[in-house]
Structure formats: structure tokens, C-alpha cells
Amino acid sequence: MLATFDLPGHVIGIIINSDLTDEVLDDVILEIKARFDQYDKVNVYLELEKGHEISFNALLKGIKFKYSNADLFGKIAIVTDSSWFQNAVNVSDIFLNVEVRTYDVKDRLDSLQWISI
């Protein structure tokens, strides 16, 4: 299950309150693609609520989506307490020309401030 919220124009916020599976990621991708139609660059805030994990297949699918659409992203903030998810995001984004930062859930306000600029 996911919830979205709007921030300033080009910024989309997505909160996932379940495990991030392939099916949930498909919904996330649809939300982001809808924003691509409206703006040249989109900033994405993605929060995986405490106690939930991402499947390995969803992680790979998400990485593929980011790389194939890298020129449409401005910034991406990943908010999660899953250290392996944070590490995987940090490693996968070394060669990506997009600003990507990971945050712990307790630091979500910092991430919202950064993503909104």
C-alpha cells in the first residue's frame, strides 16, 4: 500500500506502508511517470515505513527504472531504516547523474527540506 502527497510542483512524495514488492513498485513507477508528463525534472521523496522491507527483485527493478529515466530525475531522497536498502541505493547510484541521498526515518524532516529545494 502506498500514499502520495504533493510538495512544490516538481516534487512527489511517496510513503509505502507495506513491504516493497514488485507489485507495489509498479504503483510507485506509475505515480512517478505521471509526474514526468508534467515537468522536465522530478524530485522524488520515497519513504519505506519502519518495519517494512524491499524485495531483491523490486530493488533491481527500481534500479533499472532509475537508470533508464535518469535524465528526468532532479533529486531522489530514500527514507528507510533498512540499512541494506540504504547501502544498495548508495552503491547503485555511484554512476548515476542524479543527486540521491538516503536518510533514516527519524531524519525525514531533513530529507523533506532537502528534496523540496
CB of 113 closer than 8 Å to CB of 79 = no
CB of 42 closer than 8 Å to CB of 10 = yes
- Grid cell in block for residue 9: 510542483
CB of 34 closer than 8 Å to CB of 4 = no
Handedness of CA 46, 70, 39, 33 (dihedral sign): negative
pLDDT tens readout for residues 71-115:
999 999 999 998 888 888 877 766 677 888 999 999 999 999 999
Q: Name the DSSP letter for residue 104.
A: -
Q: How far apart are CA 43 and CA 39, in angstroms?
A: 10
CB of 93 closer than 8 Å to CB of 63 = no
CATH of the domain at 88: 3.30.750
**pTM of the predicted model as reported, rounded to 2 decimal places:** 0.90
What element of type H or E holds 57?
helix 56-68
Range of the domain at 19: 2-116
Looking at the predicted structure, is the pLDDT value of residue 29 above 90? yes
| Number of structural domains the chain divides into | 1
